[in-house]
Amino acid sequence: MNEFDFHGIEVDVSEAGFYERLDEMRGIFEKEIPQTSFEELKTSDAIRQYCAVFRKFFDGVLGDKSAKVIFKDVPDSIRRDNKILLEFYAFIEKQSNEIIEEKNSLIEKYKPE
């Protein structure tokens, strides 16, 4: 596993296109998981609908079929999907911090005296 590997998918958060896709998909949870609809569904259907949004999110951010890789052998589970999303944001934060450190190091190394 390399530093860019998230559940078998290469992700480089230093690319502008990554953040364009992430910004575009962030609102999907609020938009596609309205609380009132879950009160009207059977619990199992509500869980499946909730999990489908996570898969749509990852396909939108990381590319089609990425959700199949990330959620391979993961049953529809609110808790597991939430955990994977939290892992994803921790992964992004770690890479972002490394990028900032690299940038600051280069600036410091090559700044005029």
Q: Which amino acid is at 63?
A: G
Coil, strand, or helix at residue 104? helix
Q: Residue 16 pLDDT > 60, yes or no?
A: yes
Q: Residue 93 pLDDT > 70, yes or no?
A: yes
Within 8 A by CB and 6+ apart from 108, the residues are none
DSSP H or E run through 95 = helix 78-110
Coil, strand, or helix at residue 10? strand
Task: Measure the CA–CA gap between 69 and 63, rounded to whole angstroms.
Answer: 11
Convert the pLDDT of each residue in 57-85 to its tens digit: 999 999 999 999 999 999 999 999 999 99
Q: Residue 1 pLDDT > 60, yes or no?
A: no
Task: Measure the CA–CA gap between 11 and 49, rounded to whole angstroms.
Answer: 26
Convert the pLDDT of each residue in 18-72 to its tens digit: 999 999 999 999 898 877 777 788 999 999 999 999 999 999 999 999 999 999 9
Task: Measure the CA–CA gap between 45 and 31, rounded to whole angstroms.
Answer: 18
